[in-house]
């Protein structure tokens, strides 16, 4: 099984990736915030220390108007460096390796000293000797004070370490719960697949499990599977019935042919008797050939139609069949009446249309009583054409109606082999109508007799309205 096709694994991976991304973004935000807070406090400390050094600049202890630096009262921070100079560049005091920096007053800069990161603050101030007297002297003082800022990053790490650890534990717990929940939520899919897997050529029963029908997302899939299985079952049963009936039909015809030939060999016969027997056998072979031909025709019609469907003038095909059936109707003492017949074109191959009309007309003639009539009409109402063929016979029995279009079905005992019927004519008619996107119905006329109604779509070229 391809592990990459697992929906569970994909869902878990996607959710964990989103959670991980959110956690990383949150940790970054926390680090940025802590960085700002810690450096603000660190810079305030640098500024306060620089101001303390400015306050430590005092008048010189001698009588000269100079200044000096007294750092005795300034708290000393480990590893802190400084340098205090006056306006003339004289160093008043210094400690540590202070580099020569050019920093704008009241600003900060990060500098590497001996591989360690330092942050410096520059402060410019004034110190007045003898203020308020005419001999007052103003001295410019420049202070450069720095401390290593590694401690700042240590504080940031200490502040965010617990948060990152808690986030990692939360992600782990979330992953475990997520796996459990997703597997539990997807369990209806496994139940549905298990039920569907039980369907085979012997066991066609499929009922969508309740757990799947209760979920809005699975309900359409479960219903679709149920309908598909039912259609497959119907098609499979139809195929089995067709195969059984076809085998029975062909076996019967072959048995008749075999018995006819066996009769000829049972004793010595005259030339006339041999000729008559061979003629009967030839008729049986002809009927067998017609049955096979109709089976092939039905199989062809049940195949998917071509992308470009043929078109025929149904009114012309119908009139040709009425003319060709006139002699058969006269032989059965039945009158054929074709009116009205509208000019209409339908998306049906001309040979199939002729087969449709021939089967229906012959069927109506066979079920018509002597001196009866078969009424034929072809009407068009724009998008559809309607062909009706009515006889005045015994009509359709209610128990036969559901099976009329099944192959080899003979509900009427009068339709014996002597009438030439194979039980495939109506099945072929229905296949022709289905292939063209039309329909066919057979019912009883309220005034008596059976009536066949064929509805076919009208080709674009044949539409008049």
* pLDDT score of 5: 64
Tell me, what's the pLDDT at 400? 86
- Cα torsion at 327, 329, 330, 336 (round to 10°)? -110
- Least confident range of 36-40, 192-196, 311-315: 192-196
Q: Which of 279, 413, 390 has its CA nearest to residue 336?
A: 390
Q: For residues 368 and 421, is the Cβ–Cβ distance under 8 A?
A: no
> At residue 414, does pLDDT exceed 70?
no
pLDDT at 63 over 70: no
Poorest-confidence range of 246-250, 321-325, 418-422? 418-422
Mean per-residue pLDDT for 90-115?
88
Give the mean model confidence (pLDDT) for residues 64-89: 84
Q: What's residue 387's pLDDT?
A: 95
Mean pLDDT for 324-348 is: 90
User: What was the pLDDT predicted at 189?
Assistant: 87
pLDDT class of 120 with cuts at 50, 70, 90: very high
Question: Has residue 1 got a pLDDT over 50?
Answer: no
Q: Chain-wide mean pLDDT for the chain?
A: 85
Give 200 or 421, the one with higher predicted confidence.
200
Least confident of 248-257, 315-324, 336-345, 444-453: 248-257
The answer for 83, left when phi > 0, alpha when psi is -120 to 50, beta otherwise, is: beta
Q: Please give the pLDDT value at position 127.
A: 83
Residue scoring higher pLDDT (5 or 286) = 286
> Domain 7-157 has what CATH class?
alpha beta
Q: Closest Cα partner for 431 from 406, 399, 398, 451?
A: 406
Q: Is pLDDT at 53 greater than 60 in this prediction?
A: yes
Query: For 190-214, how does the pLDDT look when each residue is reduced to its tens digit (9 = 90+)?
Result: 888 888 888 887 787 888 888 888 8
Quick: pLDDT tens for 428-461.
999 999 989 999 999 998 888 999 999 999 986 6
CA distance 42 to 380: 96
Give me the percent of the chain exceeding a pLDDT of 90.
31
Instruction: Locate the domains of the chain by residue range.
Output: 7-157, 199-303, 306-457
Q: Give the CATH number of domain 306-457.
A: 3.30.565.10
The string of DSSP codes covering 230-253 is HHHHHHHHHHHHHHHHHHHHHHHH
Angle between helices 350-366 and 314-324 (to 10 degrees): 40
**Residue 464: band (very low, low, confident or very high) from pLDDT cuts 50, 70, 90:** very low
Per-residue pLDDT, 450: 93
Of residues 2 and 137, more confidence is placed in 137
Q: How far apart are CA 457 and CA 305, in angstroms?
A: 15
pLDDT at 265: 83
Q: How does pLDDT run across 211-245, given as a tens digit for each residue?
A: 888 888 888 998 999 899 888 888 888 788 888 88
């Amino acid at each position: 099984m391809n592990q990459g096709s697992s929906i569970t694994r994909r869902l878990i991976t996607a959710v964990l990736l989103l959670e991980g991304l959110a956690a990383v973004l949150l940790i970054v935000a926390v680090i940025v915030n802590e960085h700002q807070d810690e450096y603000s406090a660190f810079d305030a400390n640098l500024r306060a220390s620089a101001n303390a050094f400015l306050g430590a600049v005092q008048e010189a202890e001698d009588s000269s108007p100079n200044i000096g630096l007294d750092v005795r009262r300034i708290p000393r921070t480990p590893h802190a460096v400084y340098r205090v100079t006056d306006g003339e560049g004289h160093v008043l005091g210094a400690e540590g390796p202070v580099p020569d920096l050019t920093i704008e007053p009241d600003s900060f800069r990060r500098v590497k000293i001996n591989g360690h990161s330092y942050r410096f603050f520059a402060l410019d101030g004034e110190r007045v000797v003898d203020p308020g007297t005419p001999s007052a002297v103003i001295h410019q003082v420049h202070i450069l004070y720095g401390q290593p800022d590694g401690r700042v990053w240590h504080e940031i790490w200490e502040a965010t370490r617990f948060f990152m650890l808690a986030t990692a534990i939360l992600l782990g717990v979330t992953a475990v719960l997520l796996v459990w929940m997703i597997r539990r939520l997807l369990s209806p899919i496994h139940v549905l697949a298990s039920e569907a897997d039980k369907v085979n050529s012997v066991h066609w029963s499929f009922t969508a499990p309740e757990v799947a029908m209760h979920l809005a997302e699975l309900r359409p899939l479960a219903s679709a599977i149920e309908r598909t299985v039912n259609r497959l079952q119907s098609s499979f049963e139809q195929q089995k019935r067709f195969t059984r009936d076809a085998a029975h039909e062909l076996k019967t015809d072959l048995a008749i042919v075999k018995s006819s030939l066996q009769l000829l060999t049972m004793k010595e016969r005259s030339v006339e008797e041999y000729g008559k027997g061979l003629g009967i056998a030839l008729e049986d072979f002809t009927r067998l050939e017609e049955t096979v031909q109709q089976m092939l025709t039905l199989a062809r019609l049940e195949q998917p139609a071509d992308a470009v469907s043929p078109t025929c003038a149904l009114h012309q095909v119908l009139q040709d069949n009425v003319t060709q059936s006139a002699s058969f109707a006269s032989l059965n003492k039945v009158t054929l009446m074709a009116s009205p017949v509208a000019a209409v074109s339908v998306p049906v191959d001309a040979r199939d249309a002729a087969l449709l009309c021939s089967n229906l007309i012959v069927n109506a003639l066979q079920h018509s009583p002597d001196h009866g009539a078969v009424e034929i009409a072809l009407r068009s109402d724009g998008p559809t054409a309607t062909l009706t063929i009515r006889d005045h016979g015994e009509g359709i029995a209610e128990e036969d109606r559901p099976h009329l279009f099944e192959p080899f079905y003979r509900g009427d005992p009068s339709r014996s082999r002597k009438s030439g019927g194979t039980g495939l004519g109506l099945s072929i008619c229905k296949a022709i109508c289905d292939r063209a996107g039309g329909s066919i119905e057979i019912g009883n006329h309220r005034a008596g007799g059976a009536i066949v109604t064929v509805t076919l779509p009208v080709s674009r070229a044949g539409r008049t309205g």
